[in-house]
Homo-oligomer: A and B are copies of this chain.
Amino acid sequence: MKLGVCYYPEHWPEEMWTSDAARMKALGLTTVRIGEFAWSRIEPEPGHYDWGWLDRAVKTLSDAGLEIIMGTPTATPPKWLINAHPDILPCDEYGRPRNFGSRRHYSFSSKTYRRESARIVEAMASRYGANPAIVMWQTDNEYGCHDTVVSNDADAQAAFRDWLSEKYQSVEALNKAWGTVFWSQEYRSFDEIDPPVATVTEPTPAHVMDWRRFSSDQVASYNAMQVEIIRRHAPGIDITHNFMGHFTEFDHFPVGEQIDISTWDSYPLGFLEQAWWDEDTKLKYCQTGHPDFAGFHHDLYRAMSKGRFGVMEQQPGPVNWARYNPAPKDGMVTLWTLEAVAHGAELVSYFRWRQAPFAQEQMHAGLNRPDHAADQASFEAEAALDILQSIGDLPETEQADVALVYDYEAHWAHEIQPQGKSFRHDELTLMFYTALREYGLDVDIVSPDQAIEGYKLVVVPSSPMLTDERVARWQRSGAHLLCGPRTGSKTVDFQIPKNLAPGALQNVLPIKINRAESLRPGVSRHDGNGSLSRWQEHVSVKPAIDLEVSGVVYGNEDATYISAWVDARYLSQIMRGVVDRCGIDGLALPDGLRIRRRGALLFLFGYCDGAETALPETALNQYKHIVLDLHTIPSRLAVYRKI
């Protein structure tokens, strides 16, 4: 387990580098990420590379005993490159270029940009691939940030046609899959097909779904290009990409498989502010983040690259980019650090070493203030290191009893066809996760496409595009299958299944959805057991011996289906019943407390004041406390070890 930091030597006078490096080391940091965004310094004029400063930066940091994570600078092509090749720019739905002047101003489909990206990555990797100071490479930065996965540029249009041609082979097959007979939308050739943009009213959902799938695939193939180059020059060295929070625009699993370790950028306060939570929830957690934000993403990104994950950017204080940017409560940076550890992270890297006094992120805190004095996060990083020392060797992360299926396509499907404005797939997914975590459970997140075994329960918040294969695979694992509303409601071609929803789930549970209603705010219904809102399905059942119907919940030995958007309290009640029946030990947690096990260790995280002390003593019978009031930072966490 390493703590690290993000550093931009090019932002500071060279004479500061040595002392910066020494102070990093003195603080106890191990790794330092550099390089990302530095294209205009690496190649200040077309074709003229300036490696001198970067060589010296690498040496200075390395000499101080720091391990270097090298980022490729492709998130920020320089102005001269854009001026020479305006076809690099991404375009909005009207085909208007999104201009130079910030970052991520490129289309994943731009042929020019793929060529130029390969050139700069080749140049960097060939220079530093064999340098032992470099322990990890990061491709690009935060793929898709600022709504950049989808671009309606000419290269993307052409590539989309090729992608469709490859997928469907014949335009007749496409017409059938999309149902283009509806409204005379039929195509006579792939050449006739445009992206589904700026249409008079909504385009065919299958058309949009393929456009989203295509756009997602472009991210993966772009990343694969960088990975291939780096591997060639730096064989055996870890490659990562830093993903984001609450980000669903592309399918992360294929990218995660290409790399060795998935990292993500954890900004619990900024993302709370930007996300869907209601005003009361945002107010309650505005200085801590939502209790399940970091944990959920740790579990998600642990799923990407065979279990290896880390935090590449950890929020250190107020940020600059949310609508409101308060300070974390004292102790939260320490808590977030240890929470990552509890979930199995092998790296937590703070963003950034020192707050920059200029440009877009000048109001983004760092470990140090712009005047070089240590900021609050430095003290909290120290506290985290003290606690890690108290803990000693970290046990391996073990497989949980529960797997939660995270389905990027499901996000897209529900975005493309919400049917009711309040049906948000990400919100529903997190509600299911929360219901598990409030019951004291560790959770593994899995891809809908992966083989699983050893789980007692597989939770599918909502996967419209269920296939027979998926259901059979989950069944084979022996786990009980708990599915939320709209699961199995579509074919992979975005059509209603011939046997209606829940489609392939009918292979294991004899129910059929006759009708689905979306409900406006204010409509609350009660099914006798609990209340529901937003969404309700009307279900008919085939008589079966073991089918139990309880309000909106239908279940048998193999599977349980919740046919409505049930409210959080009711969901918790349903979930606990299912968990108990699966023979999993649950533990009802007090408000704002989350726990996580790592081998013999038990971590408690208090997202409400004092929550970390609120667990009944009986729950800790088999544990002894190993981290106490170590530090001046107010403690919001506790660590126990199994006796």
A→B interface (CB under 8 Å): 8, 10-11, 37-41, 44-45, 73, 75-80, 83, 90, 94, 96-105, 145-146, 148, 178-188, 192, 194, 196-207, 273, 279, 282-283, 286, 317-318, 320, 323-327, 355-363, 365, 369-371, 375-376, 417, 419-422, 493-500, 514-523, 538
Contact = CB atoms under 8 A, between A and B. Distances in A.
A176 to B, nearest CB: 9
Q: Is the interface of A mostly helix, strand, loop or mixed?
A: loop
Specify which of A183, A376, A496, A500 lies most central, judged by the most chain B CB atoms within 10 Å of its CB. Answer: A183
Given A103-B183, A148-B200, A181-B359, 8 more contacts: A79-B185, A79-B186, A96-B198, A99-B194, A101-B185, A179-B358, A358-B494, A371-B500
A419 to B, nearest CB: 5
Contact of A523 (B192, B286, B365, B523): B286
B326 A523 contact: yes
B102 A320 contact: no
Nearest to A355: B496
Contacts of A78: 184, 186
Contact of A201 (B104, B184, B273): B104
Highest count of chain B CB atoms <10 Å: which of A201, A204, A318, A371 = A201
A201 B515 CA distance: 42
A201 B102 CA distance: 6
A103 B200 CA distance: 7
A512 to B, nearest CB: 8
A76 B10 contact: no
A421 B323 contact: yes
A517 B325 contact: yes
Contacts of A371: 498-500
Contact of A101 (B37, B38, B179, B199): B199
A194 B100 contact: yes
A484 B515 CA distance: 44
11 contacts: A11-B182, A44-B186, A44-B188, A94-B96, A99-B200, A103-B201, A202-B360, A318-B515, A327-B538, A369-B500, A370-B500
Contact of A200 (B10, B104, B283, B323): B104
Contact of A98 (B146, B198, B273, B519): B198
Contacts of A45: 188
A209 to B, nearest CB: 12
Given A40-B186, A318-B516, A323-B420, A496 B357 contact: yes
A496 B370 contact: yes
Contacts of A204: 101-102, 358-360
A219 to B, nearest CB: 16
Given A200-B105, A515-B365, A420 B358 contact: no
Nearest to A491: B357
Contacts of A520: 273, 282-283, 286, 323-324, 326
A359 B184 contact: no
Contact of A199 (B99, B355, B356, B518): B99
A369 B496 CA distance: 10
A519 B83 contact: no
B101 A360 contact: no
A-B residue pairs, 8 tightest by C-beta:
A179-B358, A182-B359, A40-B184, A357-B496, A101-B199, A76-B184, A179-B359, A324-B520
A362 B205 contact: yes
Contacts of A197: 99, 101
Given A196-B101, A318-B515, A515-B375, A356 B77 contact: no
A107 B494 CA distance: 31
